[in-house]
Structure 1
Amino acid sequence: MSSTKQNNYQKLLSAPLSHEDELLAAVHLDSNTPAEWSSGLSNCCSDASLCCITYWCPCVTVGRIAEAVDDGKTSCIVSASIHALLTYGMGCGWIYSLTYRSKIRKQNMLGGSPFQDCLAHLCCERSALCQEYRELQLHGAKDEGEAKYGVETVPVAPKGMMQ
């Protein structure tokens, strides 16, 4: 993996964090004790675009999560396809997405148990996916699609200043 691509995964996901989330991240990352998830399962609608994408096509969110958690070693399209096949073919895509929740919990030293992870994905997978994506955002992962398609913003000089 190129160093540029590696650096991309250390930047934030496309949506900016609020000041409260930044403070929570600073407290969370400095602690050696297991922390709680930054948001609850019931906060899935706090980001409307993420909520809509996850509700109508959860495989897209699973792909994004997989790519970010695996630092680009797993393709978004491959992960999304696996999840879609398991979900719509066999009805057990939640098992695939569950593996990434466990990885996120271990990587970010989050409290909880494998049993709680299983329940979250079995009973309310879409809410769990939104929660996981927000947690990755908080911890500085970056959506690879942002770099591929040039979504990054360009700084603009204030009115009256020359560029």
Structure 2
Amino acid sequence: MGDPGQALALSGKSNWKVDMFSCFDNIGLCALTFCCPCVTAGKNAEAVGEDCLRFGLYSCLGPVGMYSMAYTRTKMAEKEGLPADFVTNVLIYGTVPCCALMQEAQQVDSVKTPQPAATEEMTRE
């Protein structure tokens, strides 16, 4: 059988701020990532010191994109002190790329989505 750490990493629950499959927790980020994943991929890469435009473009190139996003995820995990296994990250991007992109974006808050403005009650003095 495989390494328990690898199974935990594949589940997406290994000390990340959010689970891999909590995609709908942030609907704005979910819509952005589903419609234009290259933006989220580029912002995630930028959060770990890579070029946003270059990695955003790479994400559109099939196997090259899978490799570049797995590289970004591995680098992010190392930076955040999380288990970082490149092969596992390639498998993740081969199966659930949008969920992985959203999990990373929420980990480092790399993509800011508009939040509804807080309503304040007006009071008279």
TM-score in terms of structure 2 length: 0.71
Higher relative contact order (CA 8 A, sep 6+): 1
Q: Identical aligned pairs, as a percentage?
A: 25
Which stretches in structure 1 are left out of the alignment for 5+ residues?
Answer: 1-34, 152-157
- Provide the C-alpha distance between the structure 2 equivalents of 1:40 and 1:112, rounded to a whole number of angstroms: 16
Give the aligned residue type for 1:113.
Answer: D
Q: Please say if residues 83 and 93 of structure 1, whose CA atoms lie closer than 8 Å, have aligned partners that are also in contact.
A: yes
Give the aligned residue type for 1:108.
Answer: E
Q: Please say if residues 58 and 126 of structure 1, whose CA atoms lie closer than 8 Å, have aligned partners that are also in contact.
A: yes
- Provide the C-alpha distance between the structure 1 equivalents of 2:105 and 2:16, rounded to a whole number of angstroms: 11
5 Å matches for 1:75-114? 76-84=52-60, 86-87=61-62, 91-114=63-86
5 Å matches for 1:8-157? 36-70=15-49, 74=51, 76-84=52-60, 86-87=61-62, 91-137=63-109
TM-score in terms of structure 1 length: 0.56
Give the aligned residue type for 1:64.
Answer: K
**Given the superposition, is the C-alpha separation of residues 80 and 113 from structure 1 closer, same or farther in structure 2, using an over 3 Å criterion?**
closer
Which stretches in structure 2 are left out of the alignment for 5+ residues?
Answer: 1-13, 115-120
Using the TM superposition, give the Cα deviation of residue 96 of structure 1 relative to its aligned residue in structure 2, in angstroms.
1.1
Q: Please say if residues 53 and 61 of structure 1, whose CA atoms lie closer than 8 Å, have aligned partners that are also in contact.
A: yes
Across the aligned residues of Structure 1 and Structure 2, the Cα RMSD in angstroms comes to 3.1
Aligned length: 112
